[in-house]
């Protein structure tokens, strides 16, 4: 597995709630910060007040090995009760040339919802790259360990995805 391949991780869960209930949760950009071990808080940027294609938000992250950092994400897809995706972009040029849009994403995150019986099949995924990132910078220092570094990062991201899915499921099913 190579960074240039755009590694993807996807997890899913069945939520015993209608898609509109799940949609309200997954499009709340603040919710993952309450559920994820890495994302600590978020805020809308540029006067945005809610999700819309092109809207941007900042994410504030913390990791025991990496420390604290800020990301900027741009909503890349918003298909009512079906798909919500955002691209993390390096607008400050921390890892190379400053990114101007989702096509240069460090990572792209996506929720997809599918009606299933009286509930919703919820999938949450991340695609790493193609833009340069902290991970690609580490890989450049240790190219012989690329596969191990990617596998380790995907394992960490899986923990956050699963925590988010479990939290959405719990909130949707209990009506909180």
SS (H, E, C) the chain: CCHHHCCEEEEEEEECCCHHHHHHHHCCCCHHHHHCCCEEEEEECCCCCCCCCCCEEEEEEEECCCEEEEEEEEEEEEECCCEEEEEEECCCCCCCCCCCCHHHCCEEEEEEEEEECCEEEEEEEEEECCCCCHHHHHHHHCHHHHHHHHHHHHHHHHHHHHHHHHHHHHHHHHCC
Considering its fold, how many domains does the chain have in total? Answer: 1
Average of pLDDT values for 73-102?
87
pLDDT digits (tens, 9 = 90+) for 118-160: 999 999 999 998 888 888 888 989 999 999 999 999 999 999 9
Residues 6+ apart with CB under 8 A from 101: 74, 87, 89
- Whole-number pLDDT of residue 101: 77
Residue 115, domain CATH: 3.30.530.20
Q: In whole angstroms, how far apart are CA 31 and each of 14, 135, 163?
A: 18, 25, 11
- Whole-number pLDDT of residue 120: 98
Beta strand 119-128 with 8-15: parallel, antiparallel or unpaired?
A: antiparallel
pLDDT at 66 over 90: no
Model pTM score: 0.92
pLDDT digits (tens, 9 = 90+) for 2-53: 988 999 999 999 999 999 999 999 999 999 889 888 889 999 999 988 999 9
**Residue recorded with tokens 């939520």:** 15
Look up the domain containing 116 and give its range: 3-174
């Amino acid at each position: 597995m190579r960074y240039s391949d755009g590694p993807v991780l996807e997890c899913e869960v069945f939520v015993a709630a209608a898609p509109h209930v799940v949609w309200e949760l997954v499009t709340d950009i603040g919710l993952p910060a309450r559920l994820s071990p890495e994302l600590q808080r978020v805020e809308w940027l540029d006067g945005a007040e809610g999700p819309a294609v092109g809207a941007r938000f900042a994410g504030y992250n913390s990791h025991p090995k990496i420390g604290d950092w800020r990301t900027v994400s741009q909503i890349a897809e918003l298909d009512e009760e079906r798909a919500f995706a955002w691209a993390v972009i390096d607008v400050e040029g921390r890892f190379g040339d400053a990114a101007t849009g989702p096509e240069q994403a460090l990572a792209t995150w996506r929720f997809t919802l599918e009606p299933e019986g009286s509930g919703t099949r919820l999938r949450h995924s991340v695609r790493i790259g193609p833009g340069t990132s902290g991970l690609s910078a580490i890989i450049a220092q240790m190219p012989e360990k690329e596969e191990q570094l990617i596998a380790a990062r995907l394992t960490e991201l899986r923990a956050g995805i699963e925590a988010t899915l479990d939290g959405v499921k719990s909130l949707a099913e209990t009506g909180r």
